[in-house]
Structure 1
Amino acid sequence: MPDAPEDLDAWVTALAESLGLPANQHPIGLLLDLTRDAAHGVVRPAGPLTTYLVGLAVAQGMTVEDAVARARSSIDEWRTDPPEPA
């Protein structure tokens, strides 16, 4: 399985086209960094779920930059004041 940046770029382009999305308008680095922050700052499965929720917010009209900023703020709040276990 390839693991080079150009392979990731090719995958994102192919998937975007398959989903009917523009091929070259995706902030890969920004989203990967957010996924890492959520996985390490909350719990590992939070990474992809956070990115998915950011995508939904963008689909509803929020800019990706604003959605990522809000998600990072939520991660920071979670780190400093996590909820008590149920």
Structure 2
Amino acid sequence: MKSQDETLEEWCRLLLRAFELEDVDVDINEVLSVAGVAAHSVVRPAAPLTTFIAGLATGLTCAAGQAPDADAMKSAMDVARAVAKSYAADEARATAGSPAAGSAGTEPAETSVPSGTPGE
């Protein structure tokens, strides 16, 4: 019986092959780590949404010739992780600072995004 890591490696290779991206190196643990940060900092369904958007940003950055694959992936993952953590911190401040969380008149905090965001 294959381990979870072996199954994920195989699945990743199959997907890359299906999209004709065999030469792309995906750091599965990094993707899962960012998904975990999003799931715990926002809500669980934010995990696949976050990784999809980070992947889309990576692809657009690479297609535009702005960065090589590895650099674009690292940048997108760093941005996704930072935005998720910032979201959680903003939510914690909003909850701690308001008499009733979600009460009328509270403005959502702006999320700071590190410079060098893909797509800037």
Query: After TM superposition, is the score higher than 0.5?
Result: yes
AA partner of residue 11 (structure 2): W
AA partner of residue 73 (structure 1): A
Cα-Cα RMSD: 2.3
Q: Tell me if structure 1 keeps the 8 A contact 2:34–2:47.
A: yes
Q: Tell me if structure 2 keeps the 8 A contact 1:12–1:23.
A: no
Query: Structure 2 matches for 1:21-36, cutoff 5 A?
Result: 21-22=21-22, 25-36=25-36
| Greater helix content | 1
Q: Tell me if structure 1 keeps the 8 A contact 2:54–2:77.
A: yes
AA partner of residue 89 (structure 2): T
- Deviating more after overlay: 65-74 vs 19-28: 19-28
1:66 equivalent in structure 2? 75
Query: Structure 2 matches for 1:7-86, cutoff 5 A?
Result: 7-22=7-22, 25-61=25-61, 63-82=72-91
Q: Deviations over 1:14-45 (max 9, x none)?
A: 11101111256111010000001101110000
Report the CA distance between 1:2 and its aligned residue: 5.4
Secondary structure (helix, strand or coil) at the match of 1:15 reads: helix
Runs ≥4 residues deviating over 3 A: 83-86
- Deviating more after overlay: 26-35 vs 76-85: 76-85
Report the CA distance between 1:7 and its aligned residue: 1.4
Q: 5+ unaligned residues in a row in structure 1: which ranges?
A: none
Q: 5+ unaligned residues in a row in structure 2: which ranges?
A: 62-66, 95-100, 105-120
Q: How many residues align?
A: 86
Give TM-score, length-normalised by structure 1. Answer: 0.86
Percent identity over the alignment is: 33
